Amino acid sequence: MAALDEDTINRWIVPFLSKGKRRPRLHAAPSEIVSAILYRLKTGCQWRELPLKEFFQGQGLSWQGVYHHFQEWINDGSFRRAWVCLLKRHRRLVNLSSVQLGGSQTVCNNRGECIGYQARKAARTCNSLFLADDTGTLLACSCPAAGNHHDAFEIEQAFGELTQMLSEAGLAVEGLFLNADAGFDSQEFRSICSSYKVEANIAFNPRNGTMGEEYVYFDQQLYKRRNVVEQACAWLDSFKALLVRFETKASKWRALQLLALTVLFARKIKRWEKL
């Protein structure tokens, strides 16, 4: 079950992985190690259950070795760098006529960083924010927050992470039209959008009371585009390791999400190249 073929991995992921000068010689090609990591992402299997013979013909790394490289590439930012560079090189495929902001709750089976009890799901969860373009292509994800908080919790930091990723990929933030649901309806978030010169199209939350006499921009037709971010987040469910969180470290969880974004966008590139 290959998430990406070897040529695609060598083209869009391997060049951005760190190769430390003091690191011992790899007993397997980087593409083989990445394939094993993607297998875990796609199937959700335990690290110790990786079919090593399938990837290394019995002469490569142990599962501990694969996990070691996964951890090393997280620590030095390799997976984030690979995603940002891939997005930057193919930003012409991104449609920024509007962007969609959405949150995704994930049940967590272990305790760990950025995990909290969510009464609505009756489980420990974490919540990540995502930005998608007008067609539903996921562009950025934030670090997770504990599930006992609402979507707009520490929104300044989370939105800063999202916009920083766009900027690094060469995508202009200023002038964007942003759709967000009523969970983000707050004066704080509207002010943050204004500071970034982003036109916020946020559904009104009746829990906040009446809107008063102050004019608040809202385009109902534009807001209908927001459903594409929900569909995009549903595509992430095809990666079984993202259905339920077992990682205790937030950095590992976000690395898996970035890898999923990389896989989905690399597939889009391949479809575009065939046209």
**Domain extent for 54:** 6-76
Question: Is residue 58 very low, low, confident or very high in pLDDT (cuts 50, 70, 90)?
Answer: low
Q: Answer yes or no: do 175 and 114 share one domain.
A: yes
Give the pLDDT confidence of 183-206 residue by residue, as tens digits: 999 999 999 999 999 999 999 988
Task: Check if the beta carbon of residue 142 is closer than 8 Å to that of residue 162.
Answer: yes
pLDDT mean across residues, the chain: 91
Count of other CB atoms within 10 angstroms of residue 243: 12
- The answer to whether position 89 is within a domain reads no
**Rounded Cα distance, 142 and 161, in Å:** 6
Give the pLDDT confidence of 202-241 residue by residue, as tens digits: 999 887 766 556 668 899 999 999 999 999 999 999 999 9
Q: Answer yes or no: do 238 and 108 share one domain.
A: yes
CA distances from 87 to 47, 206, 266 (A): 28, 37, 9
Q: Answer yes or no: do 10 and 121 share one domain.
A: no
Number of folded domains in the chain? 2
Task: Check if the beta carbon of residue 51 is closer than 8 Å to that of residue 32.
Answer: no
Q: Answer yes or no: do 70 and 101 share one domain.
A: no
Q: Answer yes or no: do 23 and 70 share one domain.
A: yes
Q: What predicted TM-score, i.e. pTM, was given to this entire model?
A: 0.92
- The answer to whether position 187 is within a domain reads yes
Q: Answer yes or no: do 46 and 156 share one domain.
A: no
- The answer to whether position 254 is within a domain reads no
**Rounded Cα distance, 52 and 63, in Å:** 7
- The answer to whether position 259 is within a domain reads no
- The answer to whether position 45 is within a domain reads yes
CATH of the domain at 102: 3.30.420
Q: Answer yes or no: do 66 and 189 share one domain.
A: no
Q: Answer yes or no: do 137 and 202 share one domain.
A: yes
Q: Answer yes or no: do 70 and 160 share one domain.
A: no
